[in-house]
Structure 1
Amino acid sequence: MKPSTGRQKALAKALTALIPLAPFSDAEAIREAAGQRKLRELPPSIAVWIATVAHVRHEHSDYDALLDEGYDRDSARHFVIDQMNAVLTTWRATRLVEGDEDEGE
């Protein structure tokens, strides 16, 4: 998909800068999430980061399974940080999740 608006181009550039080796299917899902109305007021780099964290948390970690087991959100987030950072490292991310971050969904 070729970006057509200035916002879409900025999101694509921020995505490439943040996670240059992400698989296409993951990158497209993150790009779509970053373009949602609720993130539109944020700078592209922040919107992409929030979308990336949420995507990796839900699609590439045990986060949802931990919630299903009864863990609260903060505990589940704590236990999946290493899994998330492993994925981000594989994608050559320029930023990793830190334990004290409270990224929105």
Structure 2
Amino acid sequence: MNAPTGRRRAIAKALTALLPLAPYADMEKIRADAGAVHMKSLPPSIAVWLATIAHIRHVHTDYEKLLAEGYDRDSARFFVMEQTNRVLTRWRATRLLQDEGEE
């Protein structure tokens, strides 16, 4: 993570608030991804959320398998939403994914 110290602290705080029980290895990967250069224009809480969802999707769900089977990104994301929310719940996340049709 090449983010300035203040941003690193803000990312760490947002990560702890969002995922109080996430495993250390997962948190470190999410922390690094949230501090990446392409995320620097985003508020730390948004960067952490996006990094979290991407990490869970790629590491803890069947997302990659669905893509390999020919599903497009949006369809694969739809089909792994429940798996993603189960991981978020297990980590006691303060936020879950919602279907775009839900309010």
TM score, norm. by length of structure 2: 0.92
- How far did 1:99 drift? 1.5
- Structure 2 unpaired stretches of 5+: none
Give the corresponding residue for 1:8: 8
The share of aligned pairs that are identical, in percent, is 63
Counterpart residue type for residue 24 of structure 1: Y
* Alpha-carbon distance in 1 for matches of 2:7, 2:75: 35
| Count of aligned pairs between the two proteins | 99
Counterpart residue type for residue 6 of structure 1: G
Q: Which runs of 4+ in 1 moved over 2 A?
A: none
Give the corresponding residue for 1:81: 81
- How far did 1:76 drift? 0.4
Whether 1:55 and 2:37 are equivalent positions in the alignment is no
Whether 1:34 and 2:34 are equivalent positions in the alignment is yes
Counterpart residue type for residue 19 of structure 1: L
Give the corresponding residue for 1:93: 93
- How far did 1:85 drift? 0.2
Aligned CA RMSD, in angstroms, stands at: 1.5
- How far did 1:98 drift? 1.1
Aligned partner of residue 93 in structure 1, secondary structure: coil
